[in-house]
Structure 1
């Protein structure tokens, strides 16, 4: 039977309890767009339950979250949901499943009388965010997974579909890349970029056929600009950890040919979440693509200097080298206990410049007129968070 209309999910999330997904879920609940169903891999179920409790508590409830079906069975199914014993309506429903499976591994929950039949809006954030991801895994999650979520959304007949892509669908495009660009791109640096490109093409193809989707493309996402909080230390954090591992009077970093001309485009998590929350409320955003990047980013050399200043490294020496030699150096550093991912080096001479004229106009029309804070205004908070959390992971959820 179909779940009661007052308790049944109206929104479906993938990518929970991930870094962006958790923060965005909180915003969606806070504005009253729930109840929300979250598709969770079984191995992350305990983390999802803990995070759901915390989120619901902050947005004004105490017990209004739950798993579907019996208390020992967290898999959504056609039997639908139940209300809590005290009669409170659940704000978050946890469904175990997997986007790499057709039907998302949800069985009858997507059917006409299933417990997700009431879903009208989908936020698809699940992906493998890893520069060194294996090709087979990237294909399964980023490409086929997105196609499966699209199929499920069409089967449900949703009114809105929000897809989180990445600026790096550009590949190594030489020039300025805006929201209007996609089909023309440079060669891809890795399987992450290539599969995210193919996934966005799949979304855009359905948009052209009338599917009500919106695409959001963050650049490199770092921690919260107010607190520095992040779930993992990857990307630019490799540079920061290299700096922090060295004595204060003098720090040595790599520089590769082209770094002085290349930009490193980063945005804090709170800006990305605020922007998606604001844009997703606008009916005019259906059919649009928004690039969530810094319109005035630092060049790589200035970025490293800003990090060094925030880390209180009094002098930084950049050693010119080739990427081949630098990769060998990264492997040696990792063996010495300083984790530096060689895949990060490809972004020190990245030729693409990201700009976002359409997004800036749209955000100017939103309440509060959102803007990206300059990196030097919050770099010290990122450094402080890294220092306070030395054991934070650097691997992806996959």
Structure 2
């Protein structure tokens, strides 16, 4: 029996991708799951199989841990023999992550998954990176770019950069791999559903905690900076469509928004959807970041992750020309943020106490 191995289940993107993989073929999907998430994973796997109308054994849960060289699985040799395709999504998606954990999961974990894939001589290796391997690059960052002399905001970015370098090196040596770089993923554009309230949700939380007027820190020129936000369903639909193409081997695809909102537009859109009047205070993002970093009670009171504030003045522009070419004959398009922001806000208002936290 051969399987498609997926890491990062039952995480935010991994769960939705498994649903697409069930639709694609009858081949089982083996999901590498950490022991502490086994029960959650079992419930989610059963729900996905039932919703797809397929036998529950089409999703096989394999307890393991990517930080272990042999993935901490009971039968590594069997997994290596059976694996034909790998989707590597597992990572610490946390802007405030400490360096040792980020390196152990994002870098060492990728190295260990690559080791399995190379030993299995897989047909395809799909690696989910991030647009923010760009770090704080001042300019246009394309799918062709990686090491451009950039600095990094945090250890999440730095370690995802190192992880992609490992994958790109294996690609250069002949691994049939594809790299996907999502921008900042938020909830489903149709329902608002999400598992984790981070990124732009910190800004939304700040707005929701102030009534009727919300004071919001923004850069000195809020119309000159943009936040590249994409809904989960676009990321997963694009990944599923591109990964099915044989000509995507050896390519890097930035799954970003070609028309991202400016910070000014982002604040206004979120405030309008939240029923607040926003007062942007220009030139205060650095001050707000320093204050929330040094006084944790301030960050807690505002509902803000200090590391997220740096992205309000991100100087990088992302391009997606080869992604649009690959999706040209599909109906997969990234919607404008303003077209679904009200659904994100409605879902967040109802569920924001249910944040799943960083699932690694």
TM-score, reference length from structure 2: 0.95
Where in structure 1 are there 5+ consecutive unaligned residues? 66-89
Match of 1:57 in 2: 50
- In the alignment, the residues of structure 2 paired with residue 115 and residue 206 of structure 1 have an alpha-carbon distance, to the nearest angstrom, of 20
Computing the radius of gyration from Cα coordinates, the structure with the larger value is 1
Match status 1:110 vs 2:76:
yes
1:66-110 C-alpha deviation (Å, 9 max, x unpaired): xxxxxxxxxxxxxxxxxxxxxxxx201111111011011125x33
Match status 1:131 vs 2:125:
no
- In the alignment, the residues of structure 2 paired with residue 165 and residue 115 of structure 1 have an alpha-carbon distance, to the nearest angstrom, of 24
Match of 1:349 in 2: 313
1:96-128 C-alpha deviation (Å, 9 max, x unpaired): 111011011125x332xx255122100000000
**Offset of residue 33 of structure 1:** 4.9
- In the alignment, the residues of structure 2 paired with residue 33 and residue 197 of structure 1 have an alpha-carbon distance, to the nearest angstrom, of 34
Deviates more, 1:376-385 or 1:324-333: 324-333
Normalized per residue, which structure has more helix? 2
* Counterpart mapping for 1:150-229 below 5 A: 150-229=114-193
- In the alignment, the residues of structure 2 paired with residue 231 and residue 34 of structure 1 have an alpha-carbon distance, to the nearest angstrom, of 27
**Offset of residue 185 of structure 1:** 4.1
Cα contact 2:106–2:159 (8 A) shared by 1? yes
- In the alignment, the residues of structure 2 paired with residue 205 and residue 263 of structure 1 have an alpha-carbon distance, to the nearest angstrom, of 31
- In the alignment, the residues of structure 1 paired with residue 19 and residue 356 of structure 2 have an alpha-carbon distance, to the nearest angstrom, of 24
- In the alignment, the residues of structure 2 paired with residue 274 and residue 285 of structure 1 have an alpha-carbon distance, to the nearest angstrom, of 15
**Offset of residue 247 of structure 1:** 1.2
Cα contact 1:171–1:185 (8 A) shared by 2? no
Match status 1:15 vs 2:20:
no
**Offset of residue 165 of structure 1:** 0.2
Match of 2:225 in 1: 262
Match status 1:317 vs 2:279:
yes
- In the alignment, the residues of structure 1 paired with residue 344 and residue 283 of structure 2 have an alpha-carbon distance, to the nearest angstrom, of 27
Cα contact 1:169–1:197 (8 A) shared by 2? yes
- Over 3 Å counting, the alpha-carbon distance change for 1:185 and 1:267 in structure 2 is farther
- Over 3 Å counting, the alpha-carbon distance change for 1:40 and 1:53 in structure 2 is same
- Over 3 Å counting, the alpha-carbon distance change for 1:174 and 1:334 in structure 2 is closer
Cα contact 1:234–1:394 (8 A) shared by 2? no
- Over 3 Å counting, the alpha-carbon distance change for 1:33 and 1:202 in structure 2 is farther
- In the alignment, the residues of structure 2 paired with residue 184 and residue 115 of structure 1 have an alpha-carbon distance, to the nearest angstrom, of 37
- In the alignment, the residues of structure 2 paired with residue 390 and residue 193 of structure 1 have an alpha-carbon distance, to the nearest angstrom, of 25
- In the alignment, the residues of structure 1 paired with residue 306 and residue 176 of structure 2 have an alpha-carbon distance, to the nearest angstrom, of 39
- In the alignment, the residues of structure 2 paired with residue 33 and residue 292 of structure 1 have an alpha-carbon distance, to the nearest angstrom, of 27
CA RMSD of aligned residues (A): 1.5
1:14-39 C-alpha deviation (Å, 9 max, x unpaired): 00000000000010011215201111
1:241-270 C-alpha deviation (Å, 9 max, x unpaired): 11111113x221112335431110000000
Cα contact 2:80–2:116 (8 A) shared by 1? no
Match of 2:289 in 1: 327
Give the match's secondary structure for 2:259: coil
Match of 1:379 in 2: 341
- In the alignment, the residues of structure 1 paired with residue 150 and residue 318 of structure 2 have an alpha-carbon distance, to the nearest angstrom, of 14
- Over 3 Å counting, the alpha-carbon distance change for 1:299 and 1:264 in structure 2 is same
Match of 2:267 in 1: 304
Match of 1:294 in 2: 257
Aligned residue pairs, count: 357
Give the match's secondary structure for 1:233: coil
- Over 3 Å counting, the alpha-carbon distance change for 1:303 and 1:213 in structure 2 is same
Give the match's secondary structure for 2:110: helix
Match status 1:364 vs 2:328:
yes
Choose between structure 1 and 2 for higher RCO, CA contacts under 8 A separated by at least 6 residues.
2
Q: 1:142 aligns with which of 84, 106, 110?
A: 106
**Offset of residue 294 of structure 1:** 0.3
Cα contact 1:11–1:33 (8 A) shared by 2? no
Cα contact 2:117–2:125 (8 A) shared by 1? yes
Q: 1:97 aligns with which of 53, 59, 64?
A: 64
Give the match's secondary structure for 1:267: strand
